[in-house]
Structure 1
Protein backbone atom coordinates (compact mmCIF):
# COMPACT_ATOMS: atom_id res chain seq x y z
CA UNK A 1 0.00 0.00 0.00
CA UNK A 2 1.57 3.37 -0.93
CA UNK A 3 2.44 5.83 1.82
CA UNK A 4 -0.54 7.95 2.75
CA UNK A 5 -3.06 5.54 1.25
CA UNK A 6 -6.25 4.97 3.18
CA UNK A 7 -7.62 1.58 4.10
CA UNK A 8 -11.13 0.80 2.94
CA UNK A 9 -12.49 -0.54 6.24
CA UNK A 10 -11.96 -0.33 9.97
CA UNK A 11 -8.44 -1.62 10.63
CA UNK A 12 -8.00 -4.62 12.93
CA UNK A 13 -6.09 -3.35 15.97
CA UNK A 14 -4.88 -5.37 18.95
CA UNK A 15 -2.84 -2.67 20.65
CA UNK A 16 -3.09 1.12 20.86
CA UNK A 17 0.02 2.88 22.13
CA UNK A 18 0.07 6.63 22.77
CA UNK A 19 3.17 8.68 23.55
CA UNK A 20 3.94 12.37 23.85
CA UNK A 21 6.17 13.72 21.08
CA UNK A 22 9.42 15.56 21.85
CA UNK A 23 8.12 19.00 20.84
CA UNK A 24 5.16 18.74 23.19
CA UNK A 25 7.25 17.11 25.94
CA UNK A 26 9.52 20.17 25.83
CA UNK A 27 6.55 22.19 27.13
CA UNK A 28 6.26 20.13 30.35
CA UNK A 29 7.69 22.96 32.44
CA UNK A 30 4.96 25.30 31.11
CA UNK A 31 1.92 22.98 30.93
CA UNK A 32 2.70 20.34 33.56
CA UNK A 33 3.56 16.64 33.18
CA UNK A 34 0.20 15.62 34.60
CA UNK A 35 -1.49 17.21 31.57
CA UNK A 36 0.45 14.92 29.23
CA UNK A 37 -0.68 11.88 31.20
CA UNK A 38 -4.27 13.07 30.86
CA UNK A 39 -3.95 13.71 27.11
CA UNK A 40 -2.34 10.32 26.43
CA UNK A 41 -5.08 8.50 28.40
CA UNK A 42 -7.79 10.52 26.65
CA UNK A 43 -6.50 9.74 23.14
CA UNK A 44 -5.97 6.03 23.91
CA UNK A 45 -9.43 5.67 25.48
CA UNK A 46 -11.13 7.56 22.63
CA UNK A 47 -9.51 5.47 19.88
CA UNK A 48 -10.05 2.17 21.70
CA UNK A 49 -13.74 2.92 22.34
CA UNK A 50 -14.32 3.85 18.71
CA UNK A 51 -12.54 0.71 17.46
CA UNK A 52 -14.37 -1.49 19.96
CA UNK A 53 -17.76 -0.20 18.82
CA UNK A 54 -16.95 -0.94 15.19
CA UNK A 55 -15.40 -4.35 15.84
CA UNK A 56 -11.88 -3.20 14.98
CA UNK A 57 -10.37 -3.89 18.42
CA UNK A 58 -9.34 -7.54 18.24
CA UNK A 59 -6.52 -9.66 19.73
CA UNK A 60 -5.48 -10.73 16.22
CA UNK A 61 -5.06 -7.17 14.89
CA UNK A 62 -2.11 -4.96 14.15
CA UNK A 63 -0.50 -2.22 16.25
CA UNK A 64 -1.55 1.42 16.33
CA UNK A 65 1.17 3.77 17.57
CA UNK A 66 0.09 7.39 18.06
CA UNK A 67 2.23 10.39 18.95
CA UNK A 68 0.69 13.58 20.31
CA UNK A 69 3.00 16.09 18.63
CA UNK A 70 1.20 19.22 19.80
CA UNK A 71 -1.75 20.12 22.01
CA UNK A 72 -3.07 23.57 22.84
CA UNK A 73 -5.37 24.00 25.85
CA UNK A 74 -8.54 26.10 25.78
CA UNK A 75 -7.99 27.26 29.34
CA UNK A 76 -4.90 27.54 31.54
CA UNK A 77 -3.58 24.33 33.08
CA UNK A 78 -3.11 24.22 36.88
CA UNK A 79 0.64 24.79 36.45
CA UNK A 80 0.03 27.81 34.22
CA UNK A 81 -2.39 29.24 36.79
CA UNK A 82 0.16 28.97 39.59
CA UNK A 83 3.11 30.25 37.56
CA UNK A 84 1.36 33.25 35.93
CA UNK A 85 -0.52 35.38 38.47
CA UNK A 86 -2.53 37.28 35.80
CA UNK A 87 -4.23 34.15 34.49
CA UNK A 88 -7.56 32.86 35.72
CA UNK A 89 -9.86 30.00 34.79
CA UNK A 90 -11.96 32.63 33.05
CA UNK A 91 -9.15 33.03 30.50
CA UNK A 92 -9.87 31.09 27.31
CA UNK A 93 -8.66 30.62 23.77
CA UNK A 94 -8.74 28.26 20.82
CA UNK A 95 -7.17 24.86 21.29
CA UNK A 96 -6.57 21.70 19.35
CA UNK A 97 -4.02 18.99 18.67
CA UNK A 98 -1.69 17.45 16.09
CA UNK A 99 -1.17 13.69 16.08
CA UNK A 100 1.09 11.45 14.01
CA UNK A 101 2.03 7.81 14.15
CA UNK A 102 1.63 4.58 12.26
CA UNK A 103 -0.57 1.54 11.90
CA UNK A 104 1.37 -1.69 11.45
CA UNK A 105 -0.86 -4.48 10.14
CA UNK A 106 -0.39 -8.12 11.08
CA UNK A 107 1.50 -8.71 7.82
CA UNK A 108 3.99 -5.97 8.72
CA UNK A 109 2.75 -3.25 6.36
CA UNK A 110 3.17 0.19 7.93
CA UNK A 111 0.72 2.98 7.14
CA UNK A 112 1.51 6.52 8.35
CA UNK A 113 -0.98 8.48 10.42
CA UNK A 114 -1.15 12.27 10.39
CA UNK A 115 -3.98 14.41 11.69
CA UNK A 116 -4.37 17.89 13.06
CA UNK A 117 -7.32 19.98 14.08
CA UNK A 118 -7.38 23.36 15.80
CA UNK A 119 -10.51 25.35 16.51
CA UNK A 120 -10.73 28.57 14.49
CA UNK A 121 -13.83 30.12 16.06
CA UNK A 122 -13.16 31.82 19.40
CA UNK A 123 -16.87 31.96 20.17
CA UNK A 124 -16.98 28.28 21.19
CA UNK A 125 -13.92 28.57 23.44
CA UNK A 126 -15.79 30.43 26.18
CA UNK A 127 -17.72 27.22 26.94
CA UNK A 128 -14.73 24.89 26.80
CA UNK A 129 -12.87 23.06 29.55
CA UNK A 130 -9.07 22.97 29.62
CA UNK A 131 -8.60 20.37 26.87
CA UNK A 132 -11.98 20.44 25.07
CA UNK A 133 -10.60 21.18 21.59
CA UNK A 134 -7.77 18.63 21.96
CA UNK A 135 -10.38 16.03 22.97
CA UNK A 136 -12.45 16.99 19.94
CA UNK A 137 -9.38 16.52 17.72
CA UNK A 138 -8.85 13.07 19.29
CA UNK A 139 -12.47 12.11 18.60
CA UNK A 140 -12.23 13.26 14.99
CA UNK A 141 -9.02 11.26 14.52
CA UNK A 142 -10.66 8.19 16.09
CA UNK A 143 -13.53 8.44 13.62
CA UNK A 144 -11.07 8.68 10.73
CA UNK A 145 -9.13 5.65 11.99
CA UNK A 146 -12.40 3.74 12.29
CA UNK A 147 -13.07 4.61 8.64
CA UNK A 148 -9.54 3.58 7.60
CA UNK A 149 -8.54 7.17 6.76
CA UNK A 150 -5.11 7.75 8.27
CA UNK A 151 -3.76 10.94 6.72
CA UNK A 152 -5.25 14.44 6.84
CA UNK A 153 -2.91 17.41 6.68
Structure 2
Protein backbone atom coordinates (compact mmCIF):
# COMPACT_ATOMS: atom_id res chain seq x y z
CA UNK A 1 0.00 0.00 0.00
CA UNK A 2 2.85 2.39 0.86
CA UNK A 3 4.50 1.62 -2.42
CA UNK A 4 1.38 2.56 -4.34
CA UNK A 5 0.92 5.81 -2.38
CA UNK A 6 4.56 6.81 -2.79
CA UNK A 7 4.37 6.03 -6.52
CA UNK A 8 1.27 8.19 -6.88
CA UNK A 9 2.90 11.01 -4.90
CA UNK A 10 6.00 10.86 -7.12
CA UNK A 11 3.85 10.87 -10.25
CA UNK A 12 1.86 13.89 -9.01
CA UNK A 13 5.06 15.76 -8.09
CA UNK A 14 6.63 15.10 -11.48
CA UNK A 15 3.52 16.31 -13.32
CA UNK A 16 3.51 19.54 -11.27
CA UNK A 17 7.19 20.13 -12.03
CA UNK A 18 6.63 19.42 -15.72
CA UNK A 19 3.83 21.99 -15.97
CA UNK A 20 4.69 24.51 -18.69
CA UNK A 21 5.21 28.19 -18.08
CA UNK A 22 2.37 30.53 -18.86
CA UNK A 23 1.87 30.38 -22.61
CA UNK A 24 1.71 34.13 -22.97
CA UNK A 25 2.81 36.69 -20.41
CA UNK A 26 0.54 39.50 -21.48
CA UNK A 27 -1.18 40.98 -24.47
CA UNK A 28 -1.73 44.72 -24.23
CA UNK A 29 -3.86 46.54 -26.77
CA UNK A 30 -4.02 50.30 -26.95
CA UNK A 31 -5.72 52.63 -29.39
CA UNK A 32 -3.68 55.12 -31.40
CA UNK A 33 -4.33 58.83 -30.79
CA UNK A 34 -5.58 59.25 -34.37
CA UNK A 35 -8.07 56.42 -33.95
CA UNK A 36 -9.17 57.79 -30.55
CA UNK A 37 -9.96 61.10 -32.23
CA UNK A 38 -11.75 59.34 -35.07
CA UNK A 39 -13.74 57.33 -32.50
CA UNK A 40 -14.74 60.42 -30.54
CA UNK A 41 -15.69 62.40 -33.64
CA UNK A 42 -17.22 59.77 -35.89
CA UNK A 43 -17.19 56.04 -35.09
CA UNK A 44 -18.12 55.96 -31.42
CA UNK A 45 -15.78 55.35 -28.50
CA UNK A 46 -17.67 52.29 -27.24
CA UNK A 47 -17.38 50.55 -30.61
CA UNK A 48 -13.64 51.11 -30.83
CA UNK A 49 -13.09 50.04 -27.21
CA UNK A 50 -15.05 46.88 -27.91
CA UNK A 51 -12.89 46.20 -30.97
CA UNK A 52 -9.69 46.61 -28.91
CA UNK A 53 -11.03 44.10 -26.39
CA UNK A 54 -11.90 41.70 -29.22
CA UNK A 55 -8.38 41.99 -30.65
CA UNK A 56 -6.87 41.24 -27.24
CA UNK A 57 -9.13 38.17 -26.76
CA UNK A 58 -8.36 36.80 -30.23
CA UNK A 59 -4.60 37.19 -29.90
CA UNK A 60 -4.48 35.82 -26.34
CA UNK A 61 -6.56 32.78 -27.31
CA UNK A 62 -4.39 31.98 -30.33
CA UNK A 63 -1.10 32.45 -28.48
CA UNK A 64 -2.31 30.18 -25.68
CA UNK A 65 -3.36 27.59 -28.23
CA UNK A 66 -0.11 27.57 -30.21
CA UNK A 67 2.47 28.44 -27.54
CA UNK A 68 4.11 31.15 -29.66
CA UNK A 69 5.78 33.85 -27.54
CA UNK A 70 5.61 31.68 -24.41
CA UNK A 71 6.22 33.87 -21.37
CA UNK A 72 6.71 36.98 -23.52
CA UNK A 73 4.72 40.16 -23.96
CA UNK A 74 2.87 41.61 -26.87
CA UNK A 75 2.09 45.31 -27.11
CA UNK A 76 -0.36 46.07 -29.90
CA UNK A 77 -1.73 49.38 -31.12
CA UNK A 78 -5.00 49.44 -32.99
CA UNK A 79 -4.09 52.05 -35.61
CA UNK A 80 -7.13 52.11 -37.88
CA UNK A 81 -10.50 50.43 -38.30
CA UNK A 82 -13.17 50.82 -40.96
CA UNK A 83 -16.72 49.56 -40.52
CA UNK A 84 -18.71 47.77 -43.21
CA UNK A 85 -21.89 49.54 -42.19
CA UNK A 86 -22.53 52.82 -40.38
CA UNK A 87 -22.01 52.67 -36.63
CA UNK A 88 -24.70 53.70 -34.18
CA UNK A 89 -22.85 56.98 -33.61
CA UNK A 90 -22.63 57.70 -37.35
CA UNK A 91 -26.34 57.01 -37.79
CA UNK A 92 -27.11 59.48 -35.00
CA UNK A 93 -24.80 62.17 -36.37
CA UNK A 94 -25.93 61.95 -40.01
CA UNK A 95 -29.74 61.85 -40.31
CA UNK A 96 -29.77 60.82 -44.00
CA UNK A 97 -27.50 57.83 -43.44
CA UNK A 98 -29.05 54.36 -43.53
CA UNK A 99 -27.92 51.09 -41.99
CA UNK A 100 -28.46 49.63 -45.45
CA UNK A 101 -25.40 51.59 -46.60
CA UNK A 102 -22.31 49.43 -46.85
CA UNK A 103 -18.65 49.61 -47.77
CA UNK A 104 -15.30 47.94 -47.49
CA UNK A 105 -13.98 47.53 -43.95
CA UNK A 106 -10.87 46.25 -42.21
CA UNK A 107 -8.18 47.14 -39.68
CA UNK A 108 -4.52 48.05 -39.20
CA UNK A 109 -2.51 46.76 -36.23
CA UNK A 110 0.99 47.87 -35.21
CA UNK A 111 3.10 47.02 -32.19
CA UNK A 112 5.85 44.79 -30.94
CA UNK A 113 6.40 41.36 -29.50
CA UNK A 114 8.90 41.05 -26.66
CA UNK A 115 10.28 37.57 -26.02
CA UNK A 116 11.35 36.20 -22.65
CA UNK A 117 14.96 36.95 -23.58
CA UNK A 118 14.10 40.60 -24.35
CA UNK A 119 14.24 40.35 -28.14
CA UNK A 120 11.87 42.93 -29.67
CA UNK A 121 10.11 42.09 -32.91
CA UNK A 122 8.15 44.86 -34.65
CA UNK A 123 4.64 44.04 -35.85
CA UNK A 124 2.64 45.61 -38.64
CA UNK A 125 -0.49 44.00 -40.02
CA UNK A 126 -3.30 45.39 -42.08
CA UNK A 127 -6.18 43.80 -43.86
CA UNK A 128 -8.98 45.54 -45.74
CA UNK A 129 -11.43 43.73 -47.94
CA UNK A 130 -10.85 44.38 -51.62
CA UNK A 131 -14.19 43.27 -52.99
CA UNK A 132 -17.31 45.28 -52.27
CA UNK A 133 -19.60 42.66 -53.83
CA UNK A 134 -19.85 40.73 -50.54
CA UNK A 135 -20.04 43.78 -48.26
CA UNK A 136 -23.84 43.99 -48.40
CA UNK A 137 -24.10 40.73 -46.43
CA UNK A 138 -21.85 41.85 -43.58
CA UNK A 139 -22.54 43.46 -40.22
CA UNK A 140 -20.95 46.69 -38.97
CA UNK A 141 -17.55 45.34 -37.89
CA UNK A 142 -17.32 42.07 -39.88
CA UNK A 143 -14.17 42.92 -41.82
CA UNK A 144 -12.41 44.43 -38.78
CA UNK A 145 -13.16 41.29 -36.77
CA UNK A 146 -11.95 39.14 -39.66
CA UNK A 147 -8.72 41.15 -39.73
CA UNK A 148 -8.24 40.45 -35.99
CA UNK A 149 -8.87 36.72 -36.43
CA UNK A 150 -6.55 36.59 -39.43
CA UNK A 151 -3.77 38.45 -37.57
CA UNK A 152 -4.07 36.20 -34.51
CA UNK A 153 -4.12 33.04 -36.62
CA UNK A 154 -1.14 34.07 -38.76
CA UNK A 155 0.91 35.33 -35.81
CA UNK A 156 0.20 32.15 -33.87
CA UNK A 157 1.74 30.18 -36.70
CA UNK A 158 4.73 32.49 -37.21
CA UNK A 159 3.47 33.93 -40.50
CA UNK A 160 3.09 37.55 -39.36
CA UNK A 161 6.33 37.93 -37.45
CA UNK A 162 7.66 41.37 -38.34
CA UNK A 163 5.60 41.55 -41.50
CA UNK A 164 6.38 44.99 -42.88
Global fold match (TM > 0.5): yes
1:97-138 per-position Cα deviation (integer Å, ceiling 9, x unaligned): 010000011111110000001001001111111110011111
Instruction: Report the Cα distance in structure 2 between the residues aligned to 1:132 and 1:81, rounded to whole angstroms.
Output: 18
1:22 to 11, 18, 33: 33
* Alpha-carbon distance change, 57 to 102 in structure 1, aligned in 2, over 3 angstroms: closer
Unpaired runs of 5+ residues, structure 2, are: 1-22
Tell me which of the two structures has the higher relative contact order, counting C-alpha pairs closer than 8 angstroms and 6 or more residues apart.
1
Report the secondary structure of 2:48's partner residue.
helix
The list of structure 1 runs, each at least 4 consecutive aligned residues, that deviate by more than 3 angstroms after superposition, is 55-58
Tell me if the contact between 1:94 and 1:122 (Cα under 8 Å) persists in the aligned partners.
Answer: yes
SS at match of 1:68: strand
The alignment status of 1:74 with 2:84, answered yes or no, reads yes
Give the SS at the match of 2:138: coil
- Normalised TM-score (structure 2): 0.80
* Mapping 1:1-150, distance limit 5 Å: 13-27=24-38, 28-56=40-68, 61-148=71-158, 149-150=160-161
- SS where residue 151 of structure 1 aligns? coil
Q: Displacement, 1:57?
A: 7.4
Higher strand share: 1
Contact 1:95 1:134 in 2 (8 A): yes
Q: How many aligned positions are there?
A: 140
The structure with the larger Rg is 2
Structure 1 unaligned spans of 5+:
1-11
Match of 2:77, SS state, is strand
